[in-house]
Amino acid sequence: MPSRRIANLLIIVCLFTLFLFFLRVDFGGRSVAKQVKGDVQSWVDGLGLNKDVDEKALPPHPKYKPTPTYTPPPVRDPFPLLSTSTPPPIPKWNRPRPGLHKEYDLTVAPPLLIGFTRTWPILLQAVVSYITAGWPPEQIYVIENTGVQMANARGQLSLQNPFYLNHAQLKKLGVNVVQTPVLLNFAQLQNFFLSMANTHNWPYYFWSHQDVLTLSFEEGFEGVTPPYNQQGYKTVYELCCQWLDDARKNDDRWAVRFFAYDHLALVNPKAYEDVGGWDTFIPYYLTDCDMHSRLIMSNYSMIDKHSGTITDTSTALNDLLALYRDPNIVPDFTDPNPPIPPPAPAEEAEAEAKQKQKQKRDYEANSPEDPRLDYYHSLRRVSDRMFHYKHGERGRNTWQQGQRGGLGEPFYYSADGFAEAIDVLTEAGREIYRRKWGHQDCNLIGGAGLKPSDAWRVEKDWLD
């Protein structure tokens, strides 16, 4: 009996001790929670106005930048017909034959990936030009890399918003739209392409910039293809299939095939993965130098080939029906972000209008032996003017700041702020490139004698 009483007493003591322990923990937890709450509240209060400041003193206020004296005119829809109806048929001589890729022993129909972040008219022109030049629309993937989540898919953005993209119109064209989960920089987007290749089991893919206008060699190209009206004519798509077949059969170390540098490029995903993909710490300019140099250092091949006229542009055709060879449309272009217009006398404006009317009459009056080839030549001339316009004194990327609207819409971001932020990231990437390779220029091999293992291990080779 005494032993049982002792045991009961010990149990009571233990329970009382546990009670005191949990009671202390509870009070301690409340104390910690109170302290945390106090710290958070102090932080929140700090975001607002300082309550200790003299009430008679003026509150702080920002100093704004000067208001721009010139705002570009609103961008225009370059394909108004597409808003109300389906697109017309593409030129019959450029229509791809069903299963054409199989004629070149390609088991997978070659996909074409086009990344998009801003400036819808330029993207739409690129997509329509590839389709009318012969690329099957169902094999084109527009990668919406806008960072606006589902706003475009829901139709919540307006045409003047830099990140506007019309899903319905792209669907009418028959192309695919893939959305990135967040806004990616250029190097990240390239790695996203690799991820898509793995997801879809693509052993190869093509990718293109959005600021291009593509035409097939309809007048012929010596040693490549005869004219459109002769036996054996090949569109840009068929020539790309041909060069892909050639690379796979005749080069076991192929990595890239360029068509007008990387305005259109064919990629071997395995080669890209073998060298570690794109360096995302170098987000924009010089990231191509880094990637392509590492491929060459690893004995992979990069070769230029001819497949079509792929023009680097900063402007959009006034009406994309011109690419469908509508005889009622005279090909011409408009800058989505024109420069500040100089004050011009009324006589000059009138003379310019008369000149445009004369060009239209001359075009309509011209009766060439081959009106199809004449229209093609007019497109070539316009695309050539577009190229020289882009590479003029204003710089290559002025087109990226043409749309200035969207205030109050979901995920709004200042167009000027976006451009400036990209510039800052670009310069940061250049500095990372310099520190990574100890070299400032693109010629890492011929100019510095570097190899892949030298990354982040060499001293800089220039004087400040």
Q: Is residue 174 exposed (0-12), middle (13-18) or buried (19+ Cβ within 10 Å)?
A: middle
User: Which range (3-17, 310-324, 357-371) has the least confidence?
Assistant: 357-371
Q: In the structure, what pLDDT confidence band is assigned to residue 464 with cuts at 50, 70 and 90?
A: confident
pLDDT on residue 26: 57
Q: In the structure, what pLDDT confidence band is assigned to residue 27 with cuts at 50, 70 and 90?
A: low
pLDDT on residue 61: 87
User: Which range (1-10, 149-158, 199-208, 209-218) has the least confidence?
Assistant: 1-10
Q: Give pTM, 2 decimals.
A: 0.85
**Could you give the C-alpha distances from 39 to 32, 34, 36, 363, in angstroms and in order?**
10, 9, 5, 75
Residue with tokens 């100089």: 342
Comparing C-alpha atoms, which of 216, 210, 272 is closest to residue 240? 216
Q: In the structure, what pLDDT confidence band is assigned to residue 367 with cuts at 50, 70 and 90?
A: very low
**Residue 210 in tokens:** 């959005």
Q: Is residue 402 exposed (0-12), middle (13-18) or buried (19+ Cβ within 10 Å)?
A: buried
Q: Does the pLDDT at position 241 exceed 60?
A: yes
Comparing C-alpha atoms, which of 169, 155, 184 is closest to residue 409? 155
Q: Does the pLDDT at position 36 exceed 60?
A: no
Mean pLDDT in residue range 193-219: 98
**Could you give the C-alpha distances from 72 to 160, 391, 420, in angstroms and in order?**
11, 19, 18
* DSSP per-residue codes, 134-152: T--GGGEEEEE--S-TTTT
Q: Does the pLDDT at position 342 exceed 90?
A: no
Q: Give yes or no for a contact between 438 and 459, defined as CB atoms under 8 angstroms apart.
A: yes
Cα of 459 vs its chain's centroid, Å: 34
Q: Does the pLDDT at position 364 exceed 70?
A: no
Mean pLDDT in residue range 403-420: 91
* DSSP per-residue codes, 154-176: TT-S-TTSTT---HHHHHHHT-E
Q: Per-residue pLDDT tens for 172-190?
A: 999 999 999 999 999 999 9
CA distance 272 to 288: 12
**Residue 262 in tokens:** 């990387």
Q: Give yes or no for a contact between 219 and 227, defined as CB atoms under 8 angstroms apart.
A: yes
Percent of the chain with pLDDT over 70: 83
pLDDT on residue 365: 47
Q: Per-residue pLDDT tens for 122-173?
A: 999 999 999 999 999 999 999 999 999 999 999 999 999 999 999 999 999 9
Residue with tokens 């004194």: 393
- Answer with the residue of higher pLDDT: 69 or 361: 69
**Residue 377 in tokens:** 């030549």
Q: Which domains does the chain have, with CATH numbers?
A: 81-339+363-401 (3.90.550)
CA distance 180 to 119: 17
Strands 112-116 vs 205-208: parallel, antiparallel or unpaired: parallel
Q: Does the pLDDT at position 404 exceed 90?
A: no
pLDDT on residue 286: 97
CA distance 464 to 461: 10
- Answer with the residue of higher pLDDT: 414 or 31: 414
Q: Give yes or no for a contact between 273 and 194, defined as CB atoms under 8 angstroms apart.
A: yes
| Residue 57 DSSP one-character state | S
Strand blocks (E) in 165-247: 176-179, 205-208, 212-215
Q: Give yes or no for a contact between 163 and 148, defined as CB atoms under 8 angstroms apart.
A: yes
Mean pLDDT in residue range 362-366: 49
Strands 140-144 vs 176-179: parallel, antiparallel or unpaired: parallel
Q: Does the pLDDT at position 11 exceed 50?
A: yes
**Residue 307 in tokens:** 């497949």
Q: Which residues, 6 or more positions from 138, have their beta carbon under 8 angstroms from its beta carbon?
A: 174, 175, 176
Indicate the average pLDDT of the chain. Answer: 89
User: Which range (100-109, 145-154, 332-341) has the least confidence?
Assistant: 332-341
Strands 254-259 vs 264-267: parallel, antiparallel or unpaired: antiparallel
Residue with tokens 């208001």: 67
Q: Quick check: helix, strand or coil at residue 256?
A: strand
| Residue 441 DSSP one-character state | S
